[in-house]
Structure 1
Amino acid sequence: MAEVAGMEEEHLDDMNNGAEAKSDTENPCSSDSDSFDDDAEDLQLETLEKELAENPSSYDTHVQYIRTLRKLGLIDKLREARESMNVLFPMSPAMWQEWVKDEASLITGPEAFPVIEKLYERGVHEYLSVSLWCDYVNFVQEHDPSVRECSSDGIKKMRDLFERALTAGGLHIVEGNKIWEAYREFEQAIFHTIDDNNNEEKEKQIQCIRSIFHRQLSVPLVDLRSTLLAYKAWEVVHGNLCESNSSDLDGIPNHVASAYQKAMEMYNARIPYEQQISKQGEDDNEKLQHFMTYLKFEQSCGDPARIQLLYERAVAEFPISSDLWIKYTQYLDHILKIPNVAKCVYSRATRNCTWIGELWVRYLLSLERAHASEEELSAVFEQSLQCSFSSIEEYLDLFLTRVDGLRRRISPTNALEDGLDCTMIRDTFQRAKEYLSLHLMSNDNLLHLHAYWAHLELNLAKDPVAARGVWESFLKTSGSMLEAWQSYIRMEIEAGHIKDARSLYKRCYSKRFSGTGSEDICHSWLRFEREFGSLEDFDLAVRKVTPRLEELRLFRAQQESKSVSITTVKEIPAKVVSQKRKSGTRLTDEQSQPKLQKYAAYHSKGVLAEDTTRKSAEDVKFIDDKTNKPKSTDEQRINGSTSKNTKYRDQCTVFVSNISFEAKEEHLREFFSDVGGVTAIRILRNKFNGKSRGLAYIDFSDETHLVAAVSKNKKQLLGKKLSIVRSDPKRSQKHEFSRSNTITDHGKRTSAGEDAPDENRDLEGFVEASKESVAPHVSSRGKSTSTMVPRAVVRPLGWGKNEPRTEGDEKPKSNDEFRKMFLKTE
C-alpha cells in the first residue's frame, strides 16, 4: 500500500486565509495566472472524481483526490473523501494525524473534543504507531476538562488510556520509552497537585510513580541506563536513597536490579535485529525478510506479547503482504488464542488484502469462535463475496465454510439460535450452485458440494425428497459421472431405502462410463442384490447385467486383439523377415494368372507410374512461385500438394468429426480454450478444392488436457454437435500394414502411408465406441464393413484363413471377368 508522503502540513485555515493576491493594477498578469491555475486544478479534480467513480478500489487515486481537495480547501468534500476511503482501506498513521490536525483547526469549542477524540480512537486501531498514541494522550490531557481538573474520573480515564497505550506500544524497543516517560510525567503532575499536609495521598502517589519506574526498568528499551539514573535521582529527592558515586545498581532493590540486568541482556540480544530492520537503502523484500528473521527469534524466546508487537510493527511497514497477515493470524489462532484480539486483526487483514480467500475463510471461523451474532457473520460473508479472488475454488471454500458454521449452530446438540433454520443452509447451497456451476471446471468440486448438500437435507432437515432432488438436479448435467451415481446410491442404502437404490441401478447399469466404470456398476448391482435383495431381485439383476457385461467383454477383447496384432507384427524376428524377402522371387513366379492380369491392367492405367512419380517427388519442397518461399501447410492442402511422406504419431491426439464446414482453425482453438494444452490443429481438406471435410486432428501437450478435451464430446460448435474421440495410433499402424493389399473404392491400389486417409481408422473407432451392442464387422448402420472387397472374397465370421472353402462357394472372378461384366452392362 502506498504511503502518503510529502503531503502539505499547513492547516486548512492557513490555505483558506493565505496572503491576498495583489491587485490587477499592481500586477496585471497575476489575475490571469491565478485563473489558469484554478482551471487546471478544477480539471484535475474532475478527472480524479471520474476515476474514482469507475474504479473506487484504487488506493492511490483516493490519496491524490484527498490531497487535491485539501489543497483547494473544499472542506465538506474533503471529509466525505476521507470517510469514503476509510470504508474501503485502512489509513496510514500520517493520514490520521493530518485529518485530526485539520479538524482541530476547523472545530472550536466543547463540541470539538468528542469529534477529534473519536478520530484518534479510529486511528490507533488500524496500525501500530507510537507517535499517534503520544498525540492522542497529549490531546486528552490538554483538552479534556475532567483531566485538566484532576478529578477522580479524569485521572482514572487518563490512566486507562496510558495503560492501553503501553499495551499497544510500550514494548517497542526504539520508541516505547516515549509512552513510559509521558505516563510518569502525568503521575508526577498529579503528585504536585496533592496538598502537602495530605501525607497519605502523597505516599500513595509516590508508590504509583515508583511502580511505573520499576515496570519500565524491566523492559528492554533504548536509553534504559538513563531511565535507571533518573529513577535513582528521583529516589534521592524523596529521601529513599543516599546519593553516591558508586555503581549504577548501588542502593537499588535486588528485584529491580535483577530485572534491569535481564532487560539489558534482552536489549543487547535484539540490537542486531533492530539494526537490520531499520537499515536504510534496502528494498522491501530484504526488509521484510529481516522482519521474518526477527520474528523467528522472538518466537524462539516464547513471549507472546513481544511476538504480537513485532507482528504489528511488521504489518504497519508492509500492510499488503498477504503472507505476513496469514502468519500473524495463524499465530493468534494457534498460540495466543484470544478471540477478541484475533477478530480485530482479521478485520484489518481482510481490509488490507481483500483478494485473499483464505483470510476471509479464517475470518469467518474466528467470528464463530468469538460467538459473533448471525448478523455479523452474514455481513462478513456477503462482504467476502464482493471481492475478486484468483481461483473459483476460493469462492467454493467460502460457501462451504458458511454452510459449516450454519450446520454447527443448527445441530441438535447445540441450542438453536433465533432465526436459524435449515432454509438458510438450503439457500446458501443454492447460491453456491448458481454461482459456481458456470465457473467450476472440475466436476469433483461440484460433486462434493452436492453430496454435502444432500447429506444435510437427509440427516439435518430430515427431508429425503429434497435430498433426492439435489442428486437429480446434479445428474442432469453430470449423468455420465460414475461417482455421482455411486454417491446417490450410497445415500439411499445408508438411509435404508433399498427400493430406491435398486431403481437407481436399473437406470444407470446400461450407461457408458469412462474406464472400467460400466463393468464396475454392473458388478456393484450384483453385490447389492446379494446383500439386500431377494432371489427374484438377484435373478432380475443377472438377466439385465449379463448381456451388458458380454457386450463390454467383446468390445474390450476386440480392442485388445487389435493391440496384440500390432505388437506381433513389430516383434517378427529379423531372420524370418529376411527369409521372406529372399523367397519373394519364388512367390512372384507362382502368382495366379488373374493376379498377373490385374497387375498388367493397373500398369496400363499408369498407376505404377503415378506411384513412382509420387515417391520421387516426396522430398521436394513446395515453393510459392511469387514469393519464392516454402508454402504453408494450409496452402499445400488447398492446392492438393501436401507431402504424402508426412507422418503423425498421434500419441496425444483427438479425432473430431461432424465439424461445420465453415469452422476454421481459430474456431477449434477457441472451442478448446477452456481445456488448454492445444499444440497443433490439422483440419482435413479436399485435395482438389481445399474445402474442409468436417474432420480434424487436434494435438495436446499432455494426457490431462487430452482427457479434458474428450469430455467435451457432443458439445456444439457453430450449431453442430462435435464427435470427439481419442485418436488411436495403434489402429493407424495396423491399417498401414494392411493397406498395401487393399483395393479402394476408386479402383486404385494404395500402399502404406500414401493415399488412404488416416481418419478412417478414427471413424471406425468412433463408430465402434458408440454402439450400444458390439457386433464385429458390422457398422453402426448395419452394413458390412467389407464393402470395398467383392463379396466372393469376404470370409464369414469365424472363418480361418487356412480353412478350405465349401463346395457351395462361388469361385472368385478375375479382373478380366469383372471388366467383361461391366462392358455388357454398358
Structure 2
Amino acid sequence: MDAINDQLPLSTNSDDENLVNGDDPMPDLPQNPTSPASDSSSSDSDSEVDESDQKLQLQTLQSELSSNPSNYDAHVQYIKLLRKVGDIDNLRKAREAMSEMFPLTPSMWQEWAKDEASISTGPEDVAAIERLYERGVFDYLSVSLWCDYLNFVQEYDPMVRDRATSRIKKVRDLFERALTAAGLHFTEAETLWEAYREFEKSIYQSIDETDSQAKEKQVQLIRSIFHRQLSLPLSNMNSTLEAYKAWEMEVKQGCILDGKSNDSDGVPSQVASTYQRALDMYNARVQFEEQISKQELTDTERLHQYIIYLKFEQSAGDPARVQVLFERAVADFPVVVDLWLDYTRYMDKTLKVSNIVRNVYSRATRNCPWIGDLWVQYLLALERAHASEGEIASVFEKSVLCSFSTLYEYLDLFLTRIDGLRRRISSAVDLEDVLGYSLIKETFQRASDYLSPHLKNSEDLVRLYAYWARLEINLGKDLVAARGVWESLLKISGSLLAAWEGYIAMEIESNHITNARSIYKRCYSKRFPGSGSEDICHSWLRFEREFGSLEDFDHAARKVNPRLEELKSYKFQMDESENPAKPSEHGKRKLGGDAPDVESSAKRLKDAAHGPKKVNEKGKAQLQSLDGQTGNSKAKAKKPDDTSDQQMKDFVQEKGKVYNDQCTAFVSNLNPKATYEHLRDFFQDVGGVVAIRILHDKFTGKSRGLAYVDFSDDAHLNAAVAKNKQLLLGKKISIARSDPKKGGGHTTDRASGGKTSESVSSAKPRKANEQPPAERDGGNKVELKGKNTFAVPRNVRALGWTADKPRTAEQEDEKPKTNDEFRKLYFKG
C-alpha cells in the first residue's frame, strides 16, 4: 500500500516479521557474552563504530519525536533501534508513547508481548502481558493475534494447566470472545474453531473414565462446537465435515467410514441441512474472496473489490458478517477515510449496540484523527448511548487537539458539543451529573476565542453568536449577558449588517422596543457592503411603522431621508466617474467620418412618394419598403460582422461586453477575499479555464461573492461542476452551469467602470405575441398617458380602483394607426 503507507506505515521489515512469528525469545535483549580470545582488535573497533552510530541515531530520533510526536515513521524506527540494542526499559517507554498516539499493528503487539514473555513470566508479569494482548485485539481484527493470546493463557497460566474449573471457564470465555470477533472470518476463522475444539478435547481426555456423566457433558460440548462451525460458510468446510464424522465414529467406537459414501452419511439430518445452506453461502462468496486475495492487484484495485464485496454482504442482510468484513477492510486499509465513514454509518443505522458502536468510533478517530465528521458522529454516538459527561468531555477535548483541514470542522465540533450540553441540561435526565449553564457558556467562549479571528465578518460567526445569545436568554435567564454577546460580536464584525439585524431581532422578540430603536440609531449611518446601507434605513422606517408612534416615525424619517439622499448622490457620482455621459443616439450630430449615412424616416417617406432616387456611393443606405411593414419604419444599421442569427442567440448581451455563456460555470458563496488567483488555483486540477470574472459591487468595489468561469469545452466544465460544495478559503462554494436562458446572462457593465456585473431578470416572461420593451416603447422613449401618471407603472392601480369603474375618454389609450392610415395622413398633410 504505497499511498497509504506514506501516511501511516503499517508493516515492518521481513526480519522483524520472522522474529514475531518465531518461537524464540527476543535475541537482542541485554546479554553478557564472553568475547573469544581469538577476536581481533579490528572487530572490536568495528563494534565500537556500530555502537556509536546507533547512539547517534537514537539521539536523532529522540530529538525528532520530542519536536514532532506525530511522526509515525520516527516511532517505528526508534522502537526498532531500541530493540536492536536491547534497551528494554526505553523500549517499553517508546512503545507506550507510540500506542498513545497511534494504533499499533497486530505484528507490533505480538512482538511486544513475546518480548515481555521472554523476560519474565511471573504471576504479575502474566497479567501485564494479558493486558497487552487485550489492547492489541482492540486495535485491529487479527486471528493470529487472538491465537497467540489464547496460547499464552493456556501455556503460562498455571491454574489452566492444572485444569482448575475457574480457569477453564476463563479460557472458554476467551475463546467465545475470539469467535465473536473473528469467528466469521472467511479464510482464517477455521484456525480459531479448531483450537477451541482441541482445547475441549484435552479437557475430555483429562476427565476420569469412571465419571461418565462428565464425559457425556463434554462430548455434547464438543459436538455443539462442530455443529456451530459446520453452519458457517468458511474455508475448508469439507475437511471440517470429515473431522466431525471421524470424531463421531471415534466417540461411538464405530467402524471406519467408507470413502465412497456421501458427505451427509453418519451426520444428523438437521446438521446436514445447515451444512448445505452454509455451502451455498460459501459458493456465493468464494469469488469475492478470490478477488480480494489476488497478489497482483494494486491497493486501489483491492480496495475497490472490498467495496464490491461489502455491498454484496449488506444486501445479504447479515450485520455480523458485514461487520467482520468491514473489520478486515480497515485492517488492510487503516487510513482510508471513506471506509471508516461507511463503517460507522452502517453501525449507527443497523447494529445499534452502544458498546460496539462506541468501540468502532474510538478506533476510527485513532486511525483518522484529522476528519472532523468522525469526531462529531462519535460525540453523537456517546450521547445516544447515555455516556457520562466525563467520557463525552474527554472525547471532545481530544478532538479539539486534532488538526482539521477547515475551520468549519472546528465550528461543527463546538456546535455539536454545545447541542449535547443543551439537550442534557434541558432534559435533566441524568441527576447524578447535573450540569450547569456555565459549562455551555465556557464552550461558547472557547469557540469564539478560537474562531473569531478566522471567521471575522462571516455569517457563520453571526449564527454562532445568535445561538449563544438565545441560550443566554432561554437557559441562562440573563438578558444582560445576551446583549453582551451581541456587543462583543459588533466589536469583531461591526461592518456586517447581519450582526446588527440579529441584535435588533433579539430585542424585538424580547419586546424591548426602546433598545431596538437605540440600535437603529447607532447603525443607520454606517457603511455596509452592497445595498446594506439602504436596507438598514428602510428597515428602521418599517420598524417605526409597526412599533413606534408618529413622533418616532417622523424622527426616523428626518434621520433616514438625508442619509438615503446622500447614498443616492454617492451612487450617481460613482456612475458619472466610472461612465462619463455620452450624447444620446437621437440627439448627436453626425460630423462625417466612417459612420454610415442613415436617412431619416421622414426623408425616406418623401423620396418614396416622388419615386426612386440615386444614392451616392459614400452615403449608400438601404431603403426600407413600407409595403407589408407594421410599426417601426426606422432603418436598421447593418451588422458589423457576418454572425448568423443562431450564433447571436447563443450570446447574452446587456449594457456592455458580450460573453458566451454556453460553457460557463456560475460560482456563488465565494469568500469576499477570493481573487482570480484563488479561483484559478482552485480549478487547476480541472484545467481548461479560459476566463474568470468576479462580480463586484458598483458602489463599494467589494466582491459580491459571485463569479463566472469560462471553460474551453463541456468536459472541463462538467469536471468543474463536480467540485460543487468544496471548500475555498474556508467557505463551501456552489458551482453550477450558467444558463443564460434562465438567468438573463451576464455582461461587463460600463456604468461600473468595467467591473463585471450580473444581469438577473426579475420580470415575468413575455408572451409569444408581446413585443420586447425596446420595440414596444420605441427605443428609450417611454410615453405615459392619462392623468397623474408620472413615474407610476401602468400595471399599478390606485387603492380605490375597481374593475367595474368606467374609464373616461382621457384615460383611453390611443389606438395605434396602421400603415395605410399613416400614409394617408402624411400625403394629406
Partner of 2:159: 146
Equivalent of residue 429 in structure 1, options 441, 444, 455: 444
* Cα distance in structure 1, aligned partners of 2:672 and 2:528: 25
Taking the aligned partners of 2:407 and 2:68, their CA distance within structure 1 comes to 23
Question: In the alignment, which of 99, 108, 117 is matched to residue 104 of structure 1?
Answer: 117
Residue 36 of structure 2 corresponds to which residue in structure 1?
22
Tell me the C-alpha RMSD between the 2 structures: 3.4
Higher alpha-carbon deviation: 6-15 or 371-380: 6-15
Q: 1:383: how far off?
A: 1.6
Match of 1:5 among 7, 13, 16: 13
Query: How many Å apart are 1:384 and its aligned residue?
Result: 1.6
Is residue 2:692 matched to residue 1:677?
no
Contact 1:675-1:705 at 8 Å conserved across structures: no
Aligned amino acid, residue 77 of structure 1: N
Equivalent residues in 2 for 1:589-608 (5 A)? none
Report if aligned partners of 2:676, 2:694 keep a CA contact under 8 Å in 1: no
Cα distance in 2 for residues equivalent to 1:582 and 1:316: 83
For the pair 1:155 / 2:168, whether they are aligned, the reply is: yes
Contact map agreement 2:29 2:87 (CA 8 A) in 1: no
Q: 1:195 aligns with which of 205, 208, 217?
A: 208
1:170-209 equivalences under 5 Å are 170-209=183-222
Q: Distance in 2 between matches of 1:230 and 1:275?
A: 25
274 and 732 in structure 1: CA distance in 2 versus 1, 3 angstrom threshold: closer
Distance across 2 between alignment mates of 1:413 and 1:270? 50
What is the CA-CA distance between 1:581 and the residue it aligns to?
A: 8.8
Q: Within 5 A, what are the aligned runs for 1:354-373?
A: 354-373=369-388
Q: 2:347 aligns with which of 310, 313, 332?
A: 332
Tell me the SS of whatever aligns to 2:312.
helix
How many angstroms does 1:706 deviate by? 8.5
Please show how residues 63-78 of structure 1 align to structure 2 within 5 Å.
Answer: 63-78=76-91
How far apart, in 1, do the equivalents of 2:161 and 2:698 lie? 78
Partner of 2:394: 379
Cα–Cα, structure 1 residues 572 and 389, in superposed 2: closer, same or farther, change >3 Å? farther
Q: For 1:17 and 1:390, how far apart are their aligned partners in 2?
A: 49
Letter in 1 for 2:188: E
User: Is 1:95 matched with 2:103?
Assistant: no
The secondary structure found in structure 2 opposite 1:12 is coil
User: Which residue number corresponds to residue 636 of structure 2?
Assistant: none
Pick aligned residue for 1:471 from 468, 481, 486: 486
**Separation of aligned partners in 2, 1:459 and 1:384:** 28
Q: CA deviation at 1:709?
A: 10
Q: What displacement does 1:510 show?
A: 2.5
1:572 deviates by 8.8
String of CA shifts for 1:706-764, please: whole Å, max 9, x gaps.
99995599xxxxxxxxxxxxx98537699xxxxxxxxxxxxxxxxxxxxxxxxxxxxxx
Task: Determine the structure 2 residue equivalent to 1:588.
Answer: none
* Equivalent position of 2:751 in the other structure: 730
Q: Deviation at 1:171? A: 0.3
- Per-residue deviation at 1:127? 0.6
Residues 554-569 of structure 1 aligned to structure 2 (within 5 Å): 554-556=569-571
Could you tell me how far apart the structure 1 residues matched to 2:87 and 2:280 are?
54
Question: Is 1:133 matched with 2:141?
Answer: no
CA contact (8 A) 1:52 1:58 kept: yes
Show structure 1 runs of 5+ residues with no match: 584-648, 653-671, 681-699, 714-726, 735-826
Amino acid at match of 1:703: I
Answer yes or no: is the 8 Å Cα contact 2:472–2:479 preserved in 1: yes
2: CA distance between counterparts of 1:679 and 1:380? 36
- Deviation at residue 177 of structure 1 after TM alignment: 0.6
Aligned to 1:286: 301
The structure-2 alpha-carbon separation of the partners of 1:257 and 1:575, relative to structure 1 and needing over 3 Å to count, comes to farther
Contact 2:472 2:481 in 1 (8 A): yes
Cα 1:582/1:207, change in 2 over 3 Å: closer
Alpha-carbon offset, residue 344 of structure 1: 1.0
- Map of 1:809 onto structure 2: none
* Distance change (3 Å), C-alpha of 1:709 and 1:443: farther
Partner Cα distance (2:198, 2:678) in 1 = 76
Q: Does 1:167 align with 2:188?
A: no
| 8 A contact 2:121–2:156 mirrored in 1 | no
Q: Compute the displacement of 1:554 (Å).
A: 4.6
Specify the code of the residue in structure 1 equivalent to 2:57: Q
1:530 aligns to what SS in structure 2? helix
Q: Is the 8 A contact 1:410 1:417 kept in 2?
A: no
Map 1:427-506; keep pairs closer than 5 Å.
427-440=442-455, 443-506=458-521
Q: Residue 359 of structure 2: SS of its match in structure 1?
A: helix
Q: Specify the alignment match of 1:303 in structure 2.
A: 318
Where relative contact order (Cα < 8 A, 6+ residues apart) is larger, the structure is 2
Letter of the structure 2 residue corresponding to residue 326 of structure 1: L
Structure 1 Cα separation of the partners of residues 480 and 292 of structure 2 = 63
The reply on whether 1:255 has 2:270 as its aligned counterpart is yes
SS in 2 for 1:216: helix
1:352 offset after TM fit, Å? 1.3
CA positional deviation for 1:514: 2.4
Partner of 1:400: 415
**SS of the residue aligned with 1:16?**
coil
1:232 deviates by: 1.3
CA separation of 1:141 and 1:571: change in aligned 2, threshold 3 A: farther
Distance (Å, rounded) in 2 between the aligned partners of 1:380 and 1:222: 40
Amino acid at match of 2:504: I
Cα contact 1:241–1:251 (8 A) shared by 2: no
After superposition, the Cα gap between the structure-2 partners of 1:98 and 1:578, relative to the gap in structure 1 and judged at 3 Å, is same
Amino acid at match of 2:419: D
Runs of 5+ unmatched residues, structure 2: 1-7, 599-655, 660-670, 680-690, 705-747, 756-829
In 1, the alpha carbon distance for the partners of 2:462 and 2:575 equals 33
Could you say if the C-alpha distance between residues 731 and 63 of structure 1 is closer, same or farther in structure 2, counting changes exceeding 3 Å? closer
State how 1:38-49 maps to structure 2 within 5 Å: 38-49=51-62
Q: Residues 513 and 113 (structure 1 numbering): CA distance in 2 closer, same or farther, change over 3 Å? A: same
Match of 1:661 in 2: none
Say if 1:7 and 1:67, in contact at 8 Å, map to a contact too: no
Contact 1:676–1:705 (8 Å) recurs in 2: no
Matched, 1:238 2:259: no
2:64 is matched with which residue? Answer: 51
Which position in structure 2 is the counterpart of 1:124? 137
Over 3 Å counting, the alpha-carbon distance change for 1:474 and 1:196 in structure 2 is same
Match of residue 814 from structure 1: none
Once the 2 structures are TM-superposed, how far is the Cα of residue 16 of structure 1 from its aligned partner?
A: 3.4
Amino acid across the alignment from 2:13: A
Give, as a single letter, the amino acid of the residue that structure 2 aligns with 1:152: T
Amino acid in structure 2 at the alignment position of 1:161? L
Give CA-to-partner distance per residue, 1:613-654, whole Å, 9 cap, x none: xxxxxxxxxxxxxxxxxxxxxxxxxxxxxxxxxxxx9999xx
1:527-676 equivalence runs, <5 A? 527-556=542-571, 675-676=674-675
CA distance in 1, matches of 2:266, 2:754: 100
More helix by share: 1
SS at match of 1:287: helix
Is residue 272 from structure 1 mapped to residue 293 from structure 2 by the alignment? no
Q: With structure 1 as the length reference, what TM-score do the two structures score? A: 0.69
Paired letter, 1:313: R
State the number of aligned residues: 617
The question of whether the paired residues in 1 share the 8 Å contact of 2:411 and 2:451 is answered with yes
Shift of 1:281: 2.9
Shifted more, 506-515 versus 56-65: the winner is: 506-515
Partner of 1:599: none
Q: Residue in 2 aligned with 1:616?
A: none
**In structure 1, what residue type is equivalent to 2:694?**
E
**The residue matched to 2:350 in structure 1 has which SS?**
helix
Of the three residues 383, 390, 394, the one matched with 2:405 is 390
State the Cα distance separating 1:552 from its structure 2 match.
3.6
**What is the one-letter code of the residue matched to 1:168?**
A
CA contact (8 A) 2:672 2:703 kept: no
TM-score (norm 2): 0.69
